[in-house]
Structures are given as C-alpha cells and as structure tokens.
Amino acid sequence: MHLIIMGPPGAGKGTQAERLTKEFSLLHISTGDIFRNAVKEGTEMGKKAKEYMDKGALVPDEIVIGIVRDRLSKPDCAGGVLLDGFPRTLEQAEALDEVLKELGMVFDAVINIDVNEEELINRLTGRRVCRNCGTTYHIKFNPPKVRTICDHCGGELYQRSDDTIETVKERLVVYKKQTMPMIEYYERKGILKNFDGARDINEVFTDIKTYLEGIK
C-alpha cells in the first residue's frame, strides 16, 4: 500500500505516521526529517534548506522533488510507503504524478488530517522531539515519563527551532496559501479521505486504521 498523509503543520502527521507505518509495514518517508538530517550532517543541501526552514518557508520545489524522486526509486519502496510532508505544493503534486508514472507506482489514498488553528499553535509550541530516535512528544498532550528524556531510547528531547510562535504563524500562512489547494487536487482524483484530527491520538489512529483496512 502506498499512502500520502497531509494536513497543516501540527495536525499529527508524524505521530500518526509512526503508528501507521508499524501497523501496515510501510516505509516512512518524511521530507521534513530528510531536511533536518541534512542540516545535522551539515551537507550543502542541508545548509540551503535551513535558510528556508528557519523562516517557516518552503524549500524550493526543484530541490524537494529531486530528493523524493531519488528516494522513491530505491528498491525498499516497493513494499509500500507513507509519504509525510510531501507533496506540499501543486507543482510537487504534479511532479509526483510524473515520478509515479515513470516508476509504475500507484498511490492508494491521501489521508488528510484537519485541526483548527488555535489547537495547531498549542501543539506545535509544546512539541518536543527525541534527538536520537525522532519520537515526537507534547509537553501536555503526550508527555514523556521524564520531562526531557525519550521513553523509548533515553535520548535527549529538544524543541525544533521552527516551533517558535513567530515561525509557527508563518508556517500556517504558508500552508493555507501553498498547500491547501492540493486538497482539491486529490479530491478531484477521488483518493482523498478527510479525518478530524482534533481528537485523542488513539481515536484518530483507530479511525484511519479502520479506513485503510477497508481499502486494502
């Protein structure tokens, strides 16, 4: 099964992706994670991407599309992938269609998680991420057992540099302007499925899981 998970920043894409990839044995491909790793490693691409990420802007399409094309061409994608954070513009969605045609891949569903803006701001400003394994927590809604330590691997938790209130607000503006039009793009294709993300993490997960079991 090949899936896309979309929604505004903070909707819970990464949180649900972690569970869904385990449940359905899918490969999790997050463009945000790819960029953060490149920044950490100090690569040229990472340096370029950081300029945009720090402002809450999108990394230019030509960079992102090239990365996703290379990643989807690898043999480990054949068993099923969950694309998280890509596509984020209409241009990326159209380019993805071309790549899928080249590779003979078909996507089964686009999961769209919707959450109101006030909740998104609360979620993003309280998000904490494990430096070691990438597990995501929230200081109030999904806290770790010990405040600064990852439950799974004991790694240190940190706050993403783009999760400040100013950058969060800019990311939400960018989402509305550049990413929201894609909802209609996938609606027209008949593969979009909307989920109310303003519910408990487990409830959202059960809902998506039940839907995916029905289309498998």
Distance between CA 68 and CA 78 in Å, rounded?
A: 14
6: contact with ligand AMP by CB under 6 A: no
Tell me the window of 12-20, 40-48, 91-99, 184-192 that interacts with ligand ADP (CB under 6 A): 12-20
Residue identified by tokens 């995916």 is: 212
DSSP H helix total and E strand total for the chain: 9, 8
Residue 148 three-state SS: coil
Q: Which two tokens mark 142? A: 């999904």
Distance between CA 106 and CA 99 in Å, rounded?
A: 10
Q: Least distance (Å) from ligand ADP to the CB of residue 102?
A: 28
Tell me the window of 33-41, 91-99, 182-190, 198-206 that interacts with ligand ADP (CB under 6 A): 198-206
9: contact with ligand AMP by CB under 6 A: yes
* 160 flagged as catalytic: yes
58: contact with ligand AMP by CB under 6 A: yes
Q: Which two tokens mark 79? A: 């068993």
171 with 120: CB under 8 angstroms?
Answer: no
182: contact with ligand ADP by CB under 6 A: no
Q: Is 62 left (phi over 0), alpha (psi -120 to 50) or beta?
A: alpha
Binding partner of 58, given ligand AMP, ligand ADP, none, CB within 5-8 angstroms per partner class? ligand AMP
* 171 flagged as catalytic: yes
Q: Least distance (Å) from ligand AMP to the CB of residue 157?
A: 16
Binding partner of 88, given ligand ADP, ligand AMP, none, CB within 5-8 angstroms per partner class? ligand AMP
Catalytic option among 36, 50, 127, 128: 127
* 13 flagged as catalytic: yes
Catalytic option among 19, 160, 169, 193: 160
Binding partner of 95, given ligand AMP, ligand ADP, none, CB within 5-8 angstroms per partner class? none
- Provide φ and ψ at 81, rounded to 5°: -130, 155
Beta carbons within 10 angstroms of residue 167's beta carbon: 20
CA 161, 126, 152, 204 dihedral sign is negative
Tell me the window of 39-47, 82-90, 133-141, 205-213 that interacts with ligand AMP (CB under 6 A): 82-90
CB under 8 Å to 128, separation ≥6 — which residues?
A: 136, 137, 138, 139, 144, 148, 157, 158, 159
Catalog residues that contact ligand ADP under the rule CB under 6 A. Answer: 7, 9-15, 123, 126-127, 136-138, 141-142, 197, 199-201, 204
List residues with catalytic annotation. Answer: 13, 88, 127, 160, 171
